Amino acid sequence: MNPRLFRRALLASFALYVTLGLPDGVFGTVWPSLRDDFGRTDSSFGLLILCSAVGYTCSSIGAGHLTQRYGTGVVFRNASFAAVLGLGLLSAAPTWWASMLAILILGAGWGLCDASVNAWVALTQGTREMGLLHAAYGVGAFLGPLLATPFIVSGDLWRGPFMVICGLGAVLVGVIATARTGFDSAPVSSEVAGSPAPARGSHQLLGLLIVWFLIYVGIEVTVGQWSYTLLTESRDYSNVAAAALVAGFWCGLTLGRFLLAGFGDRFSPERVLAAAIAVTALSVGFFWADPGGAGALALPVVGLSLASMFPLVMGRTAVYLGEARAARAVGYQIAASSVGFVVIPASVGVLADYHGVGVALPVAFAATCVLALLWFLIQLQLTRSTQPGSTQP
């Protein structure tokens, strides 16, 4: 293939992932203003997440089928256009229900982008490129609170950051349209080419991976989206200090993914994942315990420890399940991620109405323990599937 077209496609993926991360960093920061503007309570945050996840789940489930039929370039271009449309509608929404419709459209566009590009990178690239892709998301999520804070401080203008993101996305839609050939002509990577499915237990392995992604994303979103409200309304931090600490979380997430991009191919992915889960449990526990009022300082460590998990497991999917199943499996994993995006953070919103927003941290800690158990079961299933007679590499 033409290397120039390929580089353009890869750079377009990275750029759009920055734009994909921006709203996730913005939502947690603008939520109190958006909530008050429409006269809602914290439990309504669950409805906001639900609308996003419904669109995200439906589109990502079908992403593998659509990509096989129309190609990654066409799917990615149309998905990014839908996301920009949703951002534009959100920034102009006159009512709560209009904003929910906009978020539904935004979620559908992002879900299709996420599934199609993750599958493309998993099949055609390696650990470093997958790390860079998700580092790009982290850059956007890190910049999100910084983008939103001036609008909030100057008068609770929560629509402002979404207008900015919409403008950036519109430019990228045009760039992606010129990179279509680069997406569709990239060869399968040598690591993945010809990878067979496990000789046995592939359905159980896929099921465990799906649930793993559900729990992981629930933890990331709970910490990333609820920390600002927790710090300002439960621990008496100022808006600026809370935004800086939340930005620290996203900065840790981004730094970890850049480290993965630089050094990820030098270590066993399975060992890195085990260590990362252990550090996450310890740092979330420290944030929860808040010894001497210093618990919030753990936020960058939580982000750093979470950083490698999603891209590493996503990148290993094709190796674990085989090339033929990879695209659809990635779509199912992305769909499961959107369910996790709803279930755990929304549960926190409901519980917060009765027990206070501090409940977010014990929920995140318990979910991390479940994540550790799931990773153990995944490795156990892989061991069983590679007994003598198996063809799994």
DSSP 175-227: HHHHTHHHHHTPPPPTTTTTPPPPSS-HHHHHHHHHHHHHHHHHHHHHHHHHH
pLDDT greater than 90 at residue 304: yes
Among the ranges 156-160, 200-204, 358-362, which has the highest mean pLDDT value? Answer: 358-362
Average pLDDT, stretch 237-244?
86
- Cα separation of 30 and 237, whole Å? 16
* pLDDT, position 187: 62
pTM of the model: 0.75
pLDDT at 305 over 90: yes
For 85-97, write each residue's pLDDT tens digit: 999 999 998 999 9
Contacts of 294 (CB under 8 A, 6+ apart): none
Is residue 219 within 8 A of residue 378, CB to CB? The reply is no
CB contact at 8 A, 334 and 111 = yes
Say yes or no to pLDDT of 182 above 80. no
Share above pLDDT 70 across residues of the chain, in percent, rounded to a whole number: 91
- Of 181, 136, 118, which Cα lies nearest the Cα of 338? 118
- Give the Cα separation of 142 and 250 in Å (integer): 4
Query: What's residue 382's pLDDT?
Result: 79
Are 63 and 331 contacting, i.e. CB atoms less than 8 angstroms apart?
yes
Name the region of 104 (left: φ>0; alpha: ψ -120 to 50; beta: rest). Answer: alpha
Rounded to whole angstroms, how far apart are CA atoms 55 and 74?
A: 19
| pLDDT-based confidence at residue 188 (cuts at 50, 70, 90) | low
**Residue 133 structure tokens:** 């892709």
| Alpha-carbon torsion (226, 145, 306, 57), positive or negative | positive
Q: Is the pLDDT of residue 195 over 60?
A: no
290 in the Ramachandran plot: left (φ > 0), alpha (ψ -120 to 50) or beta?
A: left
Give the Cα separation of 12 and 204 in Å (integer): 35
For residue 199, is pLDDT > 70? no
Measured CA angle at 151 (ends 346, 164), to 5 deg? 85
Is pLDDT of 200 > 60? no
pLDDT tops 80 at residue 126: no
